[in-house]
Amino acid sequence: MNHTKSSYDVIISGAGPVGLFLACELALAKCSVLILEKAEDPHLPLKQLPFGIRGLSSPTIEALYRRGLLNELEIHKIIKNPHANTVQGGPRRQAGHFAGIPFHDGDIDTSQWKYRLPSSTETILISEMAELETILSRRTEALGVEIKRGLALTSLEQTADEVTVQAGDQSFRAQWLVGCDGARSIVRKTAGFEFAGTDPEFTGYSAKVDIADPEKLKPGRNPTPTGMYLQSQPGFLIMQDFDGGEFHNSEKPITLEHVQKTIRYISNTDVTIKALHFASTWTDRARQATEYRKERILLAGDAAHIHSPLGGQGLNLGLGDAMNLGWKLAATIQKKAPKGLLDSYHIERYPIGAQVLDWSRAQVAIMKPTPQSRALHAIFHDLLETRDGATYIAGRVWGIHTQYDLGNAHPLVGHSVPNFEFEDGTKIGEQMKDGKGIFLDFNTNTSLKALASEYEDQIKYVSGRAKEQFNLSAALIRPDGIVAWASNEELNEPAFRQAANLWFSK
């Protein structure tokens, strides 16, 4: 058995987007990180166009922007005009969907989002998994993270001081292990995390095929009495078969004959599949680890929660985990964490994950091929045509409403900080590349700098008048961009210290 290095601060199992982003956060804070990745080739077919397309929501876009990664997304396009359709003579642009029911740009009343500024980043972008992983891999390498590809973690053991993992014939040690190894996480299973939730209603298929008689299938998204099929591009099929997840669970090979039988059944046609290039299945099983931490082992991303890809939130949820966990774990390793900081990861992220699971369950409930679901679907269709309905759904899908329960001292506390724009044109989000906390002083009272400096290199002091600052005088922003404290009054030092001491130590 080989030990390549005596010990790392953190081993991450899985170089998917969540593992890579977490590694960046840890390395930014100067932690030593090893990533073990099972696959030799990061660019599996399902990570490339068109199946690799992912909708990035507001918290993810903000996270990439704040760490200086957003501009590197070359293929990103604002989802403003993917499916223009025409209603009452005017073009309406689809801005997203709920259970396949579209909602439209013009119906969304952004004035209801009080703290979103015009200088904010986009609310939604589309990106490709493969591209996102390439950008994140490049950043991890630049930050000195070691990635070993083609080496799967197979077993683990933890003591009070460290975790030892086995991968191939090698063994590695670290203070902490984070399982970012996806839905079938070995870390989760081996460490005995409970994974609670609900069973699937359907098997979903993503398949690339050659069709002999494509005219037999209708274009667009087609709910049918037995399921749903969609051709996103010629030959790229997505199907939902409400078989209770039976085929997916059987782990049988996905043959051409099976794909043909399924599409014929769902579309009620005799369409012929000539060739099958690749296929993958997924379900709406919705499960979540009841704890995200067991002593020195943590879970993030799909390893911690799974749900159907409807509404496309899994990647965003996982990257949110990584942004929340990175600085807390780094501070713990560097002995700068106040009591309870690391446990706040589960406390904050578990409820957000639970909401996303419920969001996906709600969509399945109205997509089922039953008369009851069809009736509910029609009602939701009408609701999404209303301004309040579209605004509510957009706010949820785009993550605008995400807020941690950090007490209610000020309405901004627990929210992502608005992208305040200073009078010289710079924006607060541009000051977050180094992953430090920020004490934002709008009144440029330089004596407050001393207060921030008590927290040494953990809190940066930034001062200046903003073009729109919602009557705030000062705010404390955590390294993940969440407002920890805010005030409209003259600075109340004890209140500030009390808030700062929850997240930072002197």
Ligand X SMILES: Cc1cc2nc3c(=O)[nH]c(=O)nc-3n(C[C@H](O)[C@H](O)[C@H](O)COP(=O)(O)OP(=O)(O)OC[C@H]3O[C@@H](n4cnc5c(N)ncnc54)[C@H](O)[C@@H]3O)c2cc1C
**Footprint of ligand X (CB under 6 A):** 13-19, 36-39, 54-55, 152-153, 180-182, 186, 206, 282, 301-302, 309, 312-316, 318
Smaller CB separation from ligand X, 320 or 435: 320
Q: How far is the CB of 187 from ligand X (least distance, A)?
A: 7
Smaller CB separation from ligand X, 313 or 419: 313
Q: How far is the CB of 80 from ligand X (least distance, A)?
A: 16
Q: How far is the CB of 17 from ligand X (least distance, A)?
A: 5
Smaller CB separation from ligand X, 45 or 309: 309
Q: How far is the CB of 417 from ligand X (least distance, A)?
A: 22
- Taking CB atoms within 8 Å and a gap of at least 24, the contacts of 430-435 are 431/460, 431/462, 432/66, 432/67, 432/477, 432/479, 432/481, 433/66, 433/67, 433/68, 434/28, 434/460, 435/25, 435/28, 435/29, 435/67, 435/326, 435/327, 435/479
Q: How far is the CB of 108 from ligand X (least distance, A)?
A: 19
Q: How far is the CB of 164 from ligand X (least distance, A)?
A: 15
Smaller CB separation from ligand X, 36 or 263: 36
What tokens were used for 160? 């009070």
Smaller CB separation from ligand X, 360 or 419: 360
- The Cβ of residue 449 has, within 10 Å, a number of other Cβ atoms equal to 13
What tokens were used for 208? 């690339």
CA angle 263, 266, 268 (to 5 degrees): 95
225, containing H or E segment: none
Q: Crossing angle for the helix pair 17-28 and 129-142, nearest 10 degrees?
A: 20
Smaller CB separation from ligand X, 14 or 437: 14
In whole angstroms, what is the distance from residue 320 CA to residue 404 CA? 12
Q: How far is the CB of 258 from ligand X (least distance, A)?
A: 18
3-class secondary structure, 332: helix
User: Taking Cα atoms as reference points, which of 314, 80, 271, 47 lies closest to residue 180?
Assistant: 314
Smaller CB separation from ligand X, 38 or 497: 38
Sign of torsion, CA 39 352 291 145? positive
Q: How far is the CB of 77 from ligand X (least distance, A)?
A: 14
In whole angstroms, what is the distance from residue 328 CA to residue 338 CA? 10
Cis preceding-peptide flag for 50 (omega within 30 of 0): yes
Residue nearest to ligand X (CB): 16
Smaller CB separation from ligand X, 235 or 309: 309
Smaller CB separation from ligand X, 32 or 316: 316
Smaller CB separation from ligand X, 129 or 452: 129
Q: How far is the CB of 53 from ligand X (least distance, A)?
A: 7
Residue with tokens 């993550």: 399
Smaller CB separation from ligand X, 200 or 318: 318
Task: Please answer whether residues 11 and 172 qualify as being in contact, where contact means their C-beta atoms are separated by less than 8 angstroms.
Answer: yes
User: Taking Cα atoms as reference points, which of 46, 15, 38, 11 lies closest to residue 134?
Assistant: 15
In whole angstroms, what is the distance from residue 452 CA to residue 448 CA? 7
In whole angstroms, what is the distance from residue 197 CA to residue 195 CA? 7
- The Cβ of residue 72 has, within 10 Å, a number of other Cβ atoms equal to 15
Q: How far is the CB of 422 from ligand X (least distance, A)?
A: 32
Q: How far is the CB of 289 from ligand X (least distance, A)?
A: 12
